[in-house]
Amino acid sequence: MTTSQRALIFDMDGTIVDNMAFHTKSWLEFFQRRGHVIDPDAFFLDTAGRQGHEIMRSYLGDDVDHVTLNAEKEALYRELYAPHLATVPGFDALIAKAAAAGVKLVVGTAAPNENIVFTLDGLDLRSKFDAIVGAGDVARGKPNPDVFLAGAAKVGVLPADCIVFEDAPLGVEAARRAGMRAVVLTTTLPASAFAQFDNVICIAADFAELDLDALFASTPAMATPI
C-alpha cells in the first residue's frame, strides 16, 4: 500500500443510479401488505444505507424469516425499477477519466448480490471496477464504515486517499467513520440534509458537475455546494 494510490468509492443505489424513489415504493408496498403504514421521508432517513436484514429487524422484529422477506422486497424493487435503469448523468465520463489517471474504482453498497447483478451487469459496468463490496461481504451496514474500509483494503488504498460518493446521510457518516472524504449527490435529498458533516468536500446534482482533479485537491474545510 502506498500513499500515491487513490480511489473513488461509489455507493450504488441513489448514486450510480437514481433509483431510491423505487426502493422506497417497494418498501412501502412491502410493509403495506403486512398492515404497516410508513412515512416515506422518515423511512429513508432512518434506513438508506442499512442492509435489508437490519431494516427488517427494526420494523418486523427478530422472529420472522428475514431472508425470504428481503428477497420478496428486492424482487418487487427490481420489477419497479427495471424500465428506468440508467446511470446518473456524468458518471460514465467521470469513471473513464479516473481510470485513465490510474485511480482505483470501487463500489461500496448495502445492496444484496441480486441487486448488484441487476444494476452493474444490467448496465455493463462490472468490468469498470477494481473491487465491488456488497451487503454479503460485511457484517454491518452503514453508518458503520465496514463496506468502505473493505473496499479500500481490496484495492490497497489508504482511507485518506479515498473519496466516497453518496446520496444518503448514513452513507456520508459511514465515510466519516472510515476517515474518508465524501462527495454528496442531491439525487435524493437537498444539500441542507448534509450540513452537519465535516467530511463533505462537494455537493452536486450529478457527476457532470464534478472535476476529478479539484476533488482530490479538496479538503472538507473547502466544501461548498455546486
Catalytic residues: 11
Which helix (H) or strand (E) segment holds residue 217: the answer is: helix 212-217
CB-facing half-sphere around the CA of 35: CA atoms within 13 A: 1
Residue with cell 472510515: 178
Q: Give the three cell numbers for residue 44.
A: 429513508
Q: Give the three cell numbers for residue 131.
A: 473491487
Quote the Cα angle for 89-95-99, to 5°. 165
SS3 57: helix
Other beta carbons within 10 Å of 126 = 14
Q: CB neighbours of 66 closer than 8 A, spacing ≥ 6?
A: 52, 53, 56, 57
Give CA–CA dist 4/85, Å, rounded: 35
Give CA–CA dist 175/180, Å, rounded: 5
